Structure 1
Amino acid sequence: MASLPWAAIVNILARLPVKDLLRYRCVSKLWCSLIDGPDFIKMHLNHSMETSSNLGLIRAGRQLHWVGLDTLNKAVRLKPPSEQVTRDAHFGKFMKVPISDKENPGKFEFGTVGFGYDPVNDDHKFLRMTHYFGRDSSSFESEVKVYSLKSKTWKRVGDHLYHGYHCESGVLVGNSLHWMMRVRFPDSTSVHIVVAFDFVTEKYWEILLPDKKSKQEYGVKESWTKLFSVVPSDVTGVFKSATPLAYLKSARQVLFDLDGEKLMVYDLDTKKAKSVRKISECPKCLHTFISVGSLVGLGGLGGGDGENSGKKEGENGDNREKQEQQPGGQKR
C-alpha cells in the first residue's frame, strides 16, 4: 500500500463497508485521522448513495434486526437499552431519547414516529405524531412534537388535520418524511393525499395523488411517473400488502416486503416473482426500512460514549415548549 498514491488509497477506502473502516482506523494515526475526518465521511456516504452500496434492512417489530441487502441471509439483532433510543447499527452505540408526556392522556389514540436530518442546522430530529379520537369520528385532534438531538429538547410544532392512513414511520425523501393520509371534509367525504413533513422548516406540505397524465417534477400533482406495475397473477401466495423496498444491484429487480412476514424479489423483465429464503434469526416484523451504512455520527453518537444525554420535559429549555400555544403532537 505504501507504493500507492495517497489519493488512490483514499479512493479505495471510500468504497469499503463501515465495519472494515472501523478496523482500519487502527492501522496508523494517519488512517485514523482520515477516516474520522468530515471530508472522508461525506465522500464515503456520497459513494454509498450513488452506487447503492453498503445498504441493509432494518426490520422492526418487538425487536430490531439488521440484514445486509447484498446477501439477505442472517439477521443481526440490535439491542438498545430501552424502548426509546436512536441506535447506530454500525458503531454499536446508542443515545437515549427522553419520553415526552402526551397532552390528552386517556383518549383513544394512535400515531407514529419518524426520524430525519436537517442539513441547514446540521441536526438530526425525531418527529412524533399522535392522533386523538373521541366517541364519534368528528372528534379528532392531533399533537405533533419534534425532538432535536442537537439541543436535546422536545418542542411542539404546527397542528394538522390529517387522518393517518397507516400507522407507519413514513418514507424519507430529501429532507422530508412522507405518508399516505386522508383529509375529511364537513360533508363526510374524504380524499387521500401524500403528506410531507420538512425537517428544516418543521412544517407540513401536501402532494396530490397522480392523474393519468404525468410529468417528472417532485411535489407537483402532474409530475408522477409510472415506474412499473405488479399484477396479482405474477405473485404466488396470499398476502394483504406488498411494500416496495429497494432496487437490487441489477436495477431490474425490486425487493418487496410481504405483510412483514417474508421478502419477495420481482423481476421487471420476466414479470416473475420469487420468495427470498427465510432470513435466519429474524422473526415477523411490523415495518422494514432501508439502512445506508455510513460513518456519519448522530451528534455524539458516532464518536460519543453512548450515555443518556437527553433531558426530560421541564429541564433546560422545555419552558419554551409549554409557553407555545400552537397545537401539535407526538407519538411514542
Structure 2
Amino acid sequence: MPALPFEIVEDILRRLPVKSLKRFRAVAKSWCFLIDSERFAKLHLQQSLISNTNRSLILGGLGLYRIGLDSLEEAEVIKPPFYYRSVDGISNSCNGVVLVMCEPAVLWNPFSADFKVLPECSDGSPTEVELYPRTTYGFGYVSRTDDYKVVRVVEFRHKINHFWMYAESSIYSLRSNCWTKIDSFPYPLPFLRGHWRVHVNGALHTLEISDLMDSARIMAFDLDTEKHNELTMPPGIQARNFDLNLDMIGGCLSVVCSRRSRVIVWVMKEYGVKESWTKLFSISFPEIERDDFLKLLVYSQDGNRVLLNCDDKRLVWYDLRKKTAEKVCVEGIPFVFYAEACVETLISPDSSGEVKKLQHVETKRSQEKRKVQKIRNKRDDFLSEGFKLVL
C-alpha cells in the first residue's frame, strides 16, 4: 500500500486529541518533528477552535482534575510536573495554557505537560503599618505580537476594613521573559480570589462596584497597549438591584445578574459595541437552587446548551431552546470545586524546547555537511594519487 502524501497525514493528525498525538510521535521521525513544531501546534489549535472539539474542564479546589467535555463521564486526576503550594491557584485558560499562581508563578499546559517557571517579581512594601499587601494575577494572549502576558497587581488594603488604598503593578512577557513595572491600577480588583479570569479580545476585565453599591462599571485592561478603558453595562442593570458578576462564554463578555432566586445572563455579541448586549437566558428555581452562584463555562458543541457551574458544587446543562436544566453526573468529581473550560493544545509556554529542536536540526545539518566534505576530500585524494601513477 503506497504511503499517504505528507500533507494528508498532517491534515489527519491536526484533528486528533493531544493524548493521541503524544503517542504518535513514536511512529516516525518525520511525525515527531511535525508534532513538536510550533507551526503544527498553531494549526492544531486553529482546527480545534473551528470544529469546537478537543475541549476539557480543569477542576481545582480539592486537587486537580480533568474532564473531557465530549463525554463528561469521569474526572481524571492531574499531577503537575512541578512543585506548587496550592491547588486552588489556577487562572483562566488561553489556548490551553494556564497560570499557576504560586511563588514563583508557573505557566503550564496541563495537556502536553510543558511548563515554564516565571522569573521572580519583587514586591513593594506598604508605606503605612496599618496596610497589608494582597497579590492578584491576570493572564492573557496578545495576537498582534503572538505573546502571552501575565499581569501582577499588589494591592494595599487596610487591615481593619480591607478598603483598597493603592496598588503596584507589573507585567510579564513570555516573548521577552522578563517583568516590567507599569502604571498602577486605578481601581480595585476582585477581592475573594487571587485572579480575574475574564480574558476577552486581548484584554482583562473586571467589574468595579462603588463603595455605596449603587453603581457599577466594566473596566478593561488591554494587554497590548497596557491601557485602561471602560465598557458599557447591559441596559437597565444597576448594582443596587442586582448581585453582579462578570464572566465569559464562547469568547464573548457576559454579565451574570442575580436577584433573589432568579438569574439573568447578558452577553456582548460584538466586543465594545453597547448595542450588541443580548439577554442570553433567564433561569430560576427549580431549575437551579435558591441563592446559587452561577458561573458560565462553555457552550455545547451544537451551541444549543450552556454548561453552568452552580455554587461550585454542581455542573448543569441549560438548554437555551427548551429552557430546561439537566444535572450532570461525573464519576470521581470532588464535592466542591471551581472549573475552567480549556481547549486541549500542544502550545508550549517554554520556548527552550523549540530552541533545542532547532539546535538539533542545525547540528544534524552540520554533521551532514562535514560528512559530505569528508567524502569529497577522499575522492580528491584518490584522483590525485591516480593522476601521479599515470605520470
**Shorter-chain-normalised TM-score: which range?**
0.7 to 0.9
State yes or no: 1:150 paired with 2:202.
no
Which of 123, 142, 153 is the aligned partner of 1:118?
Answer: 142
CA–CA distance in structure 2, aligned partners of residues 157 and 93 of structure 1 = 28
The verdict on how the C-alpha distance between 1:131 and 1:190 changes in structure 2, with shifts beyond 3 A counting, is: farther
CA–CA distance in structure 2, aligned partners of residues 64 and 181 of structure 1 = 30
State yes or no: 1:169 paired with 2:221.
no
CA–CA distance in structure 2, aligned partners of residues 265 and 189 of structure 1 = 32
The one-letter amino acid of 1:16's match is L
Q: Is the 8 A contact 1:179 1:195 kept in 2?
A: yes
The verdict on how the C-alpha distance between 1:267 and 1:11 changes in structure 2, with shifts beyond 3 A counting, is: same
Which of 209, 215, 223 is the aligned partner of 1:182?
Answer: 209
Paired residue secondary structure (2:153): strand
CA–CA distance in structure 1, aligned partners of residues 27 and 117 of structure 2 = 32
The one-letter amino acid of 1:234's match is E
> Which structure has more helix as a fraction of its residues?
2
Q: CA deviation at 1:254?
A: 0.8
Q: Is the 8 A contact 2:62 2:334 kept in 1?
A: no
The one-letter amino acid of 1:207's match is L
State yes or no: 1:297 paired with 2:297.
no
Which of 311, 314, 333 is the aligned partner of 1:262?
Answer: 314
Q: CA deviation at 1:301?
A: 6.7
The one-letter amino acid of 1:219's match is G
Report what 1:223 is aligned to: 276
Aligned residues: 300
Q: Mean alpha-carbon deviation: is it higher for 2-11 or for 69-78? A: 2-11
Q: CA deviation at 1:102?
A: 2.7
The two structures have a TM-score, normalised by structure 1, of 0.79
**Structure 2 spans left out of the alignment, 5+ residues:** 85-101, 238-266, 357-391
CA–CA distance in structure 2, aligned partners of residues 284 and 215 of structure 1 = 30
Report what 1:311 is aligned to: none
CA–CA distance in structure 1, aligned partners of residues 12 and 214 of structure 2 = 54
Paired residue secondary structure (2:218): strand
CA–CA distance in structure 2, aligned partners of residues 242 and 301 of structure 1 = 40
The 5 Å alignment of 1:25-44 reads: 25-44=25-44
Which of 313, 318, 327 is the aligned partner of 1:275?
Answer: 327
CA–CA distance in structure 1, aligned partners of residues 303 and 186 of structure 2 = 38
Q: CA deviation at 1:238?
A: 4.5
The 5 Å alignment of 1:1-332 reads: 2-61=2-61, 63-72=63-72, 73-79=74-80, 80-82=82-84, 83=102, 84-105=105-126, 107-134=131-158, 140-165=165-190, 167=193, 168-183=195-210, 191-211=215-235, 216-235=269-288, 237-280=289-332, 282=334, 284-285=336-337, 287-300=338-351
The one-letter amino acid of 1:297's match is S
Q: Deviations for 1:98-121, whole angstroms, at most 9, x for unmatched residues?
A: 443431356245453121122333
The one-letter amino acid of 2:188's match is H
The verdict on how the C-alpha distance between 1:149 and 1:159 changes in structure 2, with shifts beyond 3 A counting, is: same
Q: CA deviation at 1:279?
A: 4.2
Q: Is the 8 A contact 1:296 1:302 kept in 2?
A: no
Q: Identity rate of aligned residues, in percent?
A: 32
The verdict on how the C-alpha distance between 1:35 and 1:59 changes in structure 2, with shifts beyond 3 A counting, is: same
Q: Deviations for 1:189-237, whole angstroms, at most 9, x for unmatched residues?
A: 75212222222122222212021599853113333122222223322x3
Q: Is the 8 A contact 1:295 1:302 kept in 2?
A: no
CA–CA distance in structure 2, aligned partners of residues 301 and 222 of structure 1 = 45
For the pair shown, the structure with the greater C-alpha radius of gyration is: 2
CA RMSD of aligned residues (A): 2.9
Q: Is the 8 A contact 2:153 2:185 kept in 1?
A: no
Q: CA deviation at 1:281?
A: 5.2
